[in-house]
Amino acid sequence: MKNNSQMKIIVRNNDVSKALRILKKKLNNEGVFKEVRDRQSFTPPGEKRRLSEKAGRKRWLKKRSQLEQQFVRDELNQFRKNRNKNKNRSNVQRPNQNPNQSRNKTRPSSNQNNRSPRS
């Protein structure tokens, strides 16, 4: 074991099973079980290296997949923001525009229709 500090688990209300679960969790987090497993039999240096490379590859693939998922989430959120922004812009009425009138149609002015030719 690497750390020589003492670990204390307090048993409350005579609940030994809960205290045992807490102890196992702490030992597992410290890596005691892994160390015991590794020391049960001799592991040659080449196998240690292969195992460490395999573990490193696994960590990298896990991190890469998490980064890809984060990128996809950020992209979707950006798309949603832009869509909501555009939706809000289209709901805002323009001050000089009648809501019953479409944008492309223009109303003929009254002066042009009622004009008589000059003599």
pLDDT digit string, tens, across residues 57-106: 999 999 999 999 999 999 999 988 888 777 777 665 556 655 555 555 55
List the one residue out of 20, 32, 25 whose CA is nearest residue 10: 20
**Dist CA 69 CA 59 (whole Å):** 15
Tens-place pLDDT, residues 11-68 = 999 999 999 999 999 999 999 999 999 899 999 999 999 999 999 999 999 999 999 9
Reading the block at residue 57, the tokens are: 């590859």
79: alpha, beta or left? (left if phi > 0; alpha if psi -120 to 50):
alpha
The pTM for the full model equals 0.45
Q: Which residues are within 8 A (CB) of 93 and not within 5 positions of it... i.e. 6 or more apart? A: 99
